[in-house]
Amino acid sequence: MLNRFSGDYLDTIANADFAPRARVSGRLSSYDGLLMEAVGLSLPVGTVCRVGDHVEAEVIGFRNGRTLMMNLGGPAPLLPQAPVRPSGPAGEAEVGAALLGRVVDGAGKPIDGLGPIRGAGKWPLAGHMQSPLDRGRVLEPLDVGVRAINGLLTIGQGQRVGIMAGSGVGKSVLLGMMVRAAQADVIVIGLIGERSREVADFLETKVAGEARARSVVVAVPANHSPVLRIRGALRATAIAEAFRAEGKNVLLIIDSLTRVAHAGREIGLALGEPASARGYPPSAIAMLPNLIERAGSDVNTGGAITAIYTVLADGDDGNDPVVDSARSILDGHIVLTRALAEAGVYPAIDISKSVSRVMTDIAERPHLSAARALRRHLATYEQNRDLVLMGAYRSGSDPAIDAAIAYHPAVMEFVRQDTDQSVNLADAVAELTGVFGDA
């Protein structure tokens, strides 16, 4: 019997390069439906673990010698002392041309029924730290197909812009108009914390046709784990960074930034952080600049990420902590108001409260002069609106008010646009300068 294992076979086994390694493992000590605590193992934050046989969780912190984890989604039929083992490295995203036309979830798994993603590269979820001097200036305009934005709030390649509004005012519709017309090499869309119905609707109506072939969608609906929602935003940004590193002009859309902050609030409160303004712990607000600052231009590759973030103003409050924090970091903001939406003005852009901080660098002087004239007439009209409506103002009393009243229909007509209509940058500027060039 032993003769079978003699000779070359035993010599091969003896010479094999075999180094036994200990298998890291711990035990589940506590689980309250949201937060898990494990003992017996020490892992870095961000590591994905397998708890029991089927449940995946991510390490989010430590407390009193225990490792704190949060479920990554799905049912968790766990028992005390269930085994906990690391199952994957911390923080990598699949990136590259293999993702074009695909839809993935917060964990990077395809959910479009088109099979596995093959040939993708790797990129850190947290991105690569860049020097401020590696960021290029915003000097080239980006055509987004919306007349009011092209003419009055011109967006540049590499700019970061926020669309701020309350619920149901038209943020997603405006995003769809911009996606269909945007002149970008790649479109990366992160649908974070929104309704599941909106994901299918967005794909079928707003990313259809030619735009679908050059787009990547990361969809993490509201009923998913807060860890997955944050990972979804990080994954969308990482995918955009990888395309920028190839020198491409990328349009990154995150809908919505507020849902990302809500996920950070859930995690922070679960970890025992003190709640501050509106119940947000400090870490939830501090997370926003880390995410937003990753977008922009790269002087080394020539690529750029133009980022558009929707920001939900809870209760239509423009001083909401997330709105206020985002406004201070972004390079411009577009405010949608419920009053305009109720009056049937779509997109409901409040020109007087919106601004593009790079428009003076990318627009010609006649364009800037016409935009300022429109803003001046709109501001004068709004300041004296009550007098005009009550009939207390007499025509001829003030030339500035007379001009504002005369131009107001043209202002509203310039802002209005049908959702299926696209107005390119050149046409928007020509219409603006033609009406308000001498105003």
Q: Which of 86, 112, 135 is the endpoint of a domain?
A: 86
Q: Contact, 404 vs 381, CB < 8 A?
A: yes
157 and 292 fall within a common domain: yes
CATH number at residue 192: 3.40.50.12240
Residue 13 lies in a domain: no
Q: Contact, 69 vs 49, CB < 8 A?
A: yes
CA dist 285 and 274 (Å) reads 13
Tell me, what's the pLDDT at 436? 93
52 and 98 fall within a common domain: no
Q: Which of 325, 359, 393 is the endpoint of a domain?
A: 359
CATH number at residue 425: 1.20.1270.330
Going by their DSSP bridges, the two strands 249-255 and 186-192 should be labelled as: parallel
H/E stretch holding 191 reads strand 186-192
Pick from 213, 329, 193, 195: nearest CA to 266: 193
User: Mean pLDDT, 10 residues at a time, over the chain (439 residues)?
Assistant: 55 58 81 88 88 88 90 81 85 91 91 90 89 89 94 96 89 86 90 85 80 90 90 95 96 93 91 83 91 94 95 81 91 93 91 94 95 95 87 86 93 92 94 88
Pick from 217, 228, 220, 288: nearest CA to 258: 288
H/E stretch holding 177 reads helix 171-181
55 and 156 fall within a common domain: no
**Containing structural domain, residue 421:** 366-437
CA dist 140 and 361 (Å) reads 9
Pick from 239, 238, 244, 236: nearest CA to 191: 236
350 and 382 fall within a common domain: no
Tell me, what's the pLDDT at 5? 52
Residue 180 lies in a domain: yes
CA dist 122 and 96 (Å) reads 8
Q: Contact, 258 vs 312, CB < 8 A?
A: yes
Residue 273 lies in a domain: yes
253 and 347 fall within a common domain: yes
341 and 405 fall within a common domain: no
Residue 181 lies in a domain: yes
CATH number at residue 72: 2.40.10.170
Residue 4 lies in a domain: no
In degrees and rounded to multiples of 5, residue 282 shows phi and psi of: -55, -35
Alpha helices, DSSP H, located in 280-364: 282-292, 321-329, 338-342, 359-362
Task: Report how many domains make up the chain.
Answer: 3
Residue 343, classed as helix, strand or coil, is: coil
- Give the pTM: 0.88
Residue 79 lies in a domain: yes
96 and 245 fall within a common domain: yes
246 and 158 fall within a common domain: yes
Tell me, what's the pLDDT at 351? 95
278 and 427 fall within a common domain: no
Q: How far apart are the first and last CA of the chain?
A: 104
Residue 74 lies in a domain: yes
Report residue 108 as tokens.
């990077």
Locate the DSSP E strands across 319-434.
332-335, 355-356
Tell me, what's the pLDDT at 22? 56
CA dist 179 and 177 (Å) reads 6
In degrees and rounded to multiples of 5, residue 76 shows phi and psi of: -130, 75
154 and 76 fall within a common domain: no
